Structure formats: C-alpha cells, structure tokens
Amino acid sequence: MSTRLKALNAYRHGLRATRVAFQNDTEVLIAARAKMRSGMLCPPNPKLNTEEQIQHLEDVAVFLRRNLVQGKKVDGTNTKEPRYHLNIHKDTELGDNETVADPTVKVKTKLRARPFKCSDKR
C-alpha cells in the first residue's frame, strides 16, 4: 500500500473517530476536524518521518474512539449534586478497579461498554 493511501486511510479513520467522540457537540467536532486537517497539511512534528506521522494519526484515532467520553450536565431533581449523562458507546474502553489500583497489571480481555440509559442508577 502506498504512503499516500496509508495517510488518506489514517485521515479517514481520524475523521470517523471525531464523529464518534464528538457526536452531539457540533462546535467541538468542527474544531477537531479543522485541527486534524491543519495537521495533515502542515504536520505538527516535522522530526517524525512520514510513516511515524501516519502511525501517530492512527493512534490518535484509536484514543478518540476508546478513551474519550463526553458528558453533559443534566438537571438533577431533588438532589443538590449535579448529574451527568455520559456518551458511552460500543467502542469505549472500560477499565476495572484492578487496573486502576495497579498500573502494571495487563488487561487480558477487552472490555466493552454495556448499553447505557439515563435511568440507570447505582
């Protein structure tokens, strides 16, 4: 596969990841896509070769899909504490307390998000 095609695929993956991560926030979605476009035209780190820059963009796309979750403040009724609705989707990487407590622990299974409803209570 040519370098140009790899770069275009990485750019496409990045655009799709921004769509997933910033689904209901048009202003941030447009800003993220503009930043990605400017990064494609003028790479932010000229010390990296083309293959490393493509890999960096692929890594950014994976990070956006798996690790970025947007929250929206929801008016809580009869509570003084604010409540938030989190945009957790099927690609969101969920951790467990073991990995938080000990960062050297390797997760053996890929955890998937469960369907989330605003009515879910803890």
Task: Summarize pLDDT for 15-24 with one digit per residue, the tens.
Answer: 999 999 888 8
The confidence band for 121, taking pLDDT boundaries of 50, 70 and 90, is very low
d(CA 20, CA 24): 9
- 3-state SS, residue 86: strand
Return left, alpha or beta for 78; rule: phi > 0 is left, psi -120 to 50 is alpha, else beta.
left
Task: Summarize pLDDT for 23-67 with one digit per residue, the tens.
Answer: 888 999 999 999 999 988 888 788 889 899 999 999 999 999 888
Q: Within 13 Å of residue 5, how many CA atoms lie on the same side as its CB?
A: 2
